[in-house]
Every structure is written in structure tokens, then in C-alpha cells.
């Protein structure tokens, strides 16, 4: 764990500026273990709370993780998505985790943190882009990476993801990221069962009315955030409203046998009136 006393606030502020700019320049900005450790203690915790919300909803819909799983954390950063996954589904603690990032510092940090937190897991760091074969039958996690990819990279990634067993993808709740995730949903929806946010398999109605609204949700930070002086300092320095955790997301899976869904009648999700009601 990073010590709040020794966080490099200036470096964190630089990261924040980079994230907001959404630069897709392929630059490895993880300059040191200290920086990614500071990220893990701050920005990544907030992202983790979004993952907690997504995974709680996924669990509430009766999704069960596949057995004998490879989990790929794509663009892993400090690896918070994988840790949140195992917190929500402890049966995955013994799965094999592949931490992929363009940054060696990030992928190594993520694998080490995983091994510390869940010693029974198998955690490997890589900077080699997982191909379709590697993704075959894997659970692929993606988080806060879409605006660092250009559209060509995003399209190629979605094509590779077609081989996966499960894709769980969490992004900020801003319009730009949410709309890019909708494009991914379109690419994946014929190959996967869409679980969330909407469980219907049809074209998202928002795509028919561009500019009207965008799909986003809100997670809740733990209450202690509002009484902790370190988080208060973080909010002030970074210009972050600690109360607000907007996110967009996508959960899809191929195996219907594990999909019990809320015990709906066959054909339920195909009836337009039911889709409108969800
Ligand atoms: C904002 S960070 C998010 C990290 C982590 N997924 C999270 O949610 O905390 C984006 C990560 O994506 C990585 N990244 C960006 N473009 C990439 C690419 N083309 N291939 C692999 N990793 C990439 C960056 O190095 C960085 O670690």
C-alpha cells in the first residue's frame, strides 16, 4: 500500500491532466513504481468502487464465472479490476491472471499486487498484446482504457474480444467514453449474450437517437472517504468531486448454460414491451 504522506501529488496531478485530455499517443506514462503505487492508492481505488458496483449488479443477475479460467486484465494499470473481480467472486482466487499493459512497470506492479493480495492466484505480467488465441475462452477485463486507444485500435481489440468467453468493460460515465463503448457493444452483440447494463440483445436505442442522452450510472464511495483528510486533500488537489463516481459499462458472456438470468420465461428478452420495462 502506498503511504499517503509520501504521495507525489504533482505527478498525480500530471496523470489527472493526461487522463482528462484522453491522449491516444501510445506513450508509456508510468515513469516509476512510486507513481503507479500512488495511482493505486487514489484514482484506482475510485475505479475499484465502480467495479464493485458493476460486479454487484452482475452478481445480482446471477452471472457465475466460468471454471478453470484465464482472466486477462487488458490495459491493467495497477490491476484494480482483477482484485475487485476476486473480491466479488472469491472462487476466482485460484484462476490464472494475465496482466497486460503497454507499460512493463504497470503490468509488473499489477501482477505483484495480485500475488500479494491473493497468494493462491497465478499472476503473470506481459507487454505482449494478447491475440485471439490467447483470448479464447478467457474472461477479459477492461477498465478506463478506451480513450487511450485510437479508433483503429479499438476496432481491432473488439475483433480479438470476439474470441473471449466473457468481457467485462468499465469506463468513465462521460458521454464520449459511453458512446465509444456502445460501438463496442454493437461489434460484440451478435457473438455474446449481453448481460448488462441492458439485458436485451437488440441495437441500443441510444444509437438511433445520437446526441439525446448517454448511458451512464453512479457508484457510491465508502462513507469513510468523506471523513478521511487524505481523501479530502486528494479531492482538492485533483479537482475531483469525491461524491461523484459516474461510469459506463458492458458485461457480456457466451455460455447461456451459466446464465440463469432472473428465471424469465423463454423469449422474455425478445419481447419489446419487456425490454422497455427493464
Ligand atoms: C487510465 S489507465 C487504467 C488502468 C486500469 N485499467 C484501471 O482501471 O485502473 C489506462 C492503462 O491502459 C494502458 N494502455 C493504454 N493504451 C494501451 C495499449 N494500446 N495497449 C496496452 N495498454 C495500454 C496504459 O498504460 C494504462 O496502464
Over residues 151-208, the pLDDT tens digits come to 999 999 999 999 999 999 999 999 999 999 999 999 999 999 999 999 999 999 998 8
Cβ–Cβ under 8 Å, residues 36 and 106: yes
Residue from 24, 30, 39, 145 whose mutation best tests the ligand 1 pocket (most atoms within 8 A of CB): 145
The sign of the CA dihedral 52, 158, 244, 48 is positive
Kindly give the number of the ligand 1 atom that is closest to the alpha carbon of 127.
Answer: 21
Tell me how far the alpha carbon of residue 58 lies from the centroid of ligand 1, in angstroms: 23
What grid cell was written down for 66? 466460468
Is 194 close to ligand 1, i.e. is its CB under 6 Å away? Answer: no
Distance CA 62, CA 196 (A): 12
- Check residue 5 and give its pLDDT: 86
Q: What is the mean pLDDT of residues 125-150?
A: 96
Kindly give the number of the ligand 1 atom that is closest to the alpha carbon of 106.
Answer: 27
Q: pTM for this one?
A: 0.92
- Check residue 266 and give its pLDDT: 46
Q: What is the 3-state secondary structure (H, E, C) of the chain?
A: CCCHHHCCHHHHHHHHHHHHHCCCCCCCCCCCHHHHHHHHHCHHHHHHHHHHHHHHHHHHCCCCCCCCCEEEEECCCCCHHHHHHHHHCHHHHHCEEEEECCCHHHHHHHHHHHHHHCCCCEEEEECCCCCHHHHCCCEEEEECCHHHCCHHHHHHHHHHHCCCCEEEEEEECCHHHHHHHHHHHHHHCCCCEEEECCCCCCCCHHHHCCCCCCCCEECCCCHHHHCCHHHHHHHHHHCCCCCCCEEEEEEEECCHHHCCCCCCCCCHHHCHHHHHHC
Q: Any bridge partners for residue 194, and if so which?
A: 252
Cβ–Cβ under 8 Å, residues 213 and 231: no
Q: 74: pLDDT confidence band, cut at 50, 70 and 90?
A: very high
Strands 246-253 and 193-196 turn out to be: antiparallel
**Residue whose CA lies nearest to ligand 1 atom number 2:** 77
Is 146 close to ligand 1, i.e. is its CB under 6 Å away? Answer: no
**Residue whose CA lies nearest to ligand 1 atom number 16:** 148
The domain ranges of the chain are 4-255+265-277
Is 160 close to ligand 1, i.e. is its CB under 6 Å away? Answer: no
Q: What is the mean pLDDT of residues 39-62?
A: 97
- Fold adopted by 4-255+265-277: Rossmann fold (3.40.50)
Provide, rounded to the nearest whole percent, the portion of the chain with pLDDT above 70: 91
Tell me how far the alpha carbon of residue 74 lies from the centroid of ligand 1, in angstroms: 7
Is 24 close to ligand 1, i.e. is its CB under 6 Å away? Answer: no
End-to-end CA distance of the chain: 41
Kindly give the number of the ligand 1 atom that is closest to the alpha carbon of 19.
Answer: 1
Kindly give the number of the ligand 1 atom that is closest to the alpha carbon of 103.
Answer: 25
**More reliable by pLDDT, 207 or 258:** 207
Residue from 102, 104, 146 whose mutation best tests the ligand 1 pocket (most atoms within 8 A of CB): 102
- Check residue 198 and give its pLDDT: 93
Kindly give the number of the ligand 1 atom that is closest to the alpha carbon of 145.
Answer: 10
Is 84 close to ligand 1, i.e. is its CB under 6 Å away? Answer: no
Is 143 close to ligand 1, i.e. is its CB under 6 Å away? Answer: yes
Kindly give the number of the ligand 1 atom that is closest to the alpha carbon of 26.
Answer: 16
Is 125 close to ligand 1, i.e. is its CB under 6 Å away? Answer: no
Amino acid at each position: 500500500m502506498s503511504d499517503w504522506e509520501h504521495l507525489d501529488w504533482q505527478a498525480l496531478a500530471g496523470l489527472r491532466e493526461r487522463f482528462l485530455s484522453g491522449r491516444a499517443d501510445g506513450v508509456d506514462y508510468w515513469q516509476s513504481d512510486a507513481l503507479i503505487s500512488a495511482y493505486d492508492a487514489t484514482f484506482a481505488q475510485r475505479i475499484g468502487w465502480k467495479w464493485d458496483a458493476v460486479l454487484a449488479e452482475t452478481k445480482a443477475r446471477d452471472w457465475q464465472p466460468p471454471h478453470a479460467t484465464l482472466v486477462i486484465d487488458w490495459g491493467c494499470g495497477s490491476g484494480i479490476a482483477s482484485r475487485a473481480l476476486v473480491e466479488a467472486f472469491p472462487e476466482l482466487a485460484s484462476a490464472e491472471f494475465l496482466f497486460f499493459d503497454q507499460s512493463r512497470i504497470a503490468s509488473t506492479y499489477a501482477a505483484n499486487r495480485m500475488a500479494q493480495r491473493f497468494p493462491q492466484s497465478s499472476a503473470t505480467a506481459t507487454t505482449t498484446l494478447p491475440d485471439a488465441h490467447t483470448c479464447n475462452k478467457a474472461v477479459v477485463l477492461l477498465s478506463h482504457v478506451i480513450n487511450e486507444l485510437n479508433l483503429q485500435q479499438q476496432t481491432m481489440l473488439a475483433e480479438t474480444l470476439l474470441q473471449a468467453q466473457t468481457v467485462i468493460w468499465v469506463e468513465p460515465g462521460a458521454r464520449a467514453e459511453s458512446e465509444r463503448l456502445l460501438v463496442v457493444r454493437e461489434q460484440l452483440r451478435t457473438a455474446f449474450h449481453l448481460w448488462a447494463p441492458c439485458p436485451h440483445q437488440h441495437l441500443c436505442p441510444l444509437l438511433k437517437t445520437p446526441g439525446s442522452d448517454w448511458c451512464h450510472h453512479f457508484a457510491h464511495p465508502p462513507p469513510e472517504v468523506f471523513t478521511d483528510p487524505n481523501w479530502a486533500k486528494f479531492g482538492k488537489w485533483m479537482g475531483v468531486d469525491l461524491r461523484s463516481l459516474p461510469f459506463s459499462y458492458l458485461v457480456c458472456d457466451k455460455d447461456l448454460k451459466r446464465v440463469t438470468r432472473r428465471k424469465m420465461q423463454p423469449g422474455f428478452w425478445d419481447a419489446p414491451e419487456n425490454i422497455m420495462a427493464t
